[in-house]
Amino acid sequence: MKLLEGKSAVITGSSRGIGRAIAFAFAESGASLVIHGTSEKSLAPLAAELGCEYVAGDIGELDTSKRLAKKCMSSFGKIDILVNNAGINTRTKFLDLQPDEWEKVLRVNLTGTFYACKCVIPYMLERKSGSIINMSSRAGKTAHGNASLCYGASKGGIDSMTRNLAGEFAPSGIRVNSICPGPVETDMSLQWSAEYREKVLSGIPLRRLGKAEDIASLAVFLASDMAGFITGESININGGNYMN
């Protein structure tokens, strides 16, 4: 039996990168999906390839999360899993950081995660079961020179939200965990100079960048019954780049 056979999942930020890898891993593991992204043009062909449902919209708007939850309920009658992957990053130094940039990053990363949880948890409560996976970052635990203050603050907030939700809803059978990736091979990393890549690799004991599939494998595990006794954790996945 596949690890997620018979389970339904909502995955935000699914159109590329880690979210896309999670969507494929969940589908291969037997889950029925509702995927999300900002662009219907990107989502429609992906949904067709996966054979799943989709909702396009700004995750920083409450209505998007409402539509995601309703789509999953109307299509599958339940929501077993929520993956809050949608997010944005900036690298602006503090003295150059403007209020509108601060507010945008917090709105998408932190408030968007709050909205999705707010809309999905009531349906999980009805069944007294569910797994929520929030995408955090190493930057939420320690200072990161290649990420702005607002990005780290948003991810630190996600880790705090994870613990609070886990404590409140554990008696109702709902597990909440966050994943904290370190350096991962993405479109952005392909633009690094050879010198900068070597600098990053030198700080990773396993001497390689992570892959989106590494993160997706952890998400499948956390969503599955194999992780049934794990909740309230913010799990590092970084090749030893940061240990705590």
Known catalytic residues? 151
Question: Would you say 201 and 3 are in contact if contact means Cβ atoms under 8 Å apart?
Answer: no
DSSP assignment of the chain equals --TTTT-EEEESS-SSHHHHHHHHHHHHTT-EEEEEES-HHHHHHHHHHHT-EEEES-TTSHHHHHHHHHHHHHHHS---EEEE---------GGG--HHHHHHHIIIIIIHHHHHHHHHHHHHHHHT-EEEEEE--GGGTS--TTS-HHHHHHHHHHHHHHHHHHHHHGGGTEEEEEEEE-SB--TTGGGS-HHHHHHHHHT-TT-S-B-HHHHHHHHHHHHSGGGTT--S-EEEESTTSS--
Q: Please give the radius of gyration of the chain, using alpha carbons only, rounded to the nearest integer.
A: 17
Single out the residue of 206, 85, 207, 195 nearest to residue 137, CA to CA: 85
Single out the residue of 197, 207, 201, 204 nearest to residue 236, CA to CA: 204
